[in-house]
Amino acid sequence: MKRQRGTFGKEKKTELARALSKLGFCSRSEATELIRTGRVRLNGAVRRDTETSVRLGLDRIEVDGRVVKAAEKVYWMLNKRRGIVTTAEDEQGRETVYEFLPKGAPWMGPVGRLDKASEGLLLLTNDTEWAARITAPESHLAKTYHVQIGAVADGSLLAKLENGILDGGEELKTESARLLRAGEKNSWLEIVLDEGKNRQIRRMLEACGVEVLRLVRVKIGTLELGDLAKGKSRELTREEVQMLEGTKHDRG
């Protein structure tokens, strides 16, 4: 797809760490480290305060003496493997999703998260405003998961998932839950969420006394994982990027 250049209004103000992220230079946590170690200059002066006000489009930001300009917007999807963490760096030395992106690719941040034990479709972009729009709770963008559980699912379990379960005082529910296939001791479910609370599916099933064996995200909105191999990534088409904003679930 043709990449889009970011543009910012002349009077748009933000904090310095956030500015580096919005410009597509690095993540906010990485920006914080750069600022605190004195590697960032604002209009020629070193700034160590991450909350320093910046006028995007007017102020000059430099990192290690190089001017930071708005990066071209890029949008990618990755088939995350199990055991890979969704962070730029890991203190425990575990593999991260960034090791599975093409060398030389611009910085991108994950759009939402998949925990270490989960697999499947993960979006990444340096367009922080687009990411915020499609992950906002009010977007109700449906996410579809295939979940293998250590039990044979029955109608009672599926009804509980759809009707809602209390966990730690928080109500959790699915948009839909259905049986895909079952064996003698386990089964596969298709679960659709239109909101993304932390570890929601695992928490719901654990509250029902059911073990999660595998959890794979196969679809976001109408964007499907398809035949993208594990550990592989590709750039989204312009149509796919626009489609993700145009397929928000209407709960009306």
Lookup: tokens for 230: 């594990």
Amino acid at the residue 88: A
**Is residue 178 within 8 Å of 158, Cβ to Cβ?**
yes
C-alpha closest to that of 16 among 32, 27, 2: 32
**For residue 109, what are its two tokens?**
């941040």
Burial tier of 129 (Cβ tally within 10 Å: 0-12, 13-18, 19+)? exposed
Phi, psi of 167 (to 5 degrees): -135, 115
Q: DSSP secondary-structure letter at 185?
A: S
Q: Parallel, antiparallel, or unpaired: how do β-strands 72-73 and 40-42 relate? A: unpaired
The answer to whether 243 and 221 have CB atoms below 8 angstroms apart is yes
Please identify every residue annotated as catalytic. Answer: 115
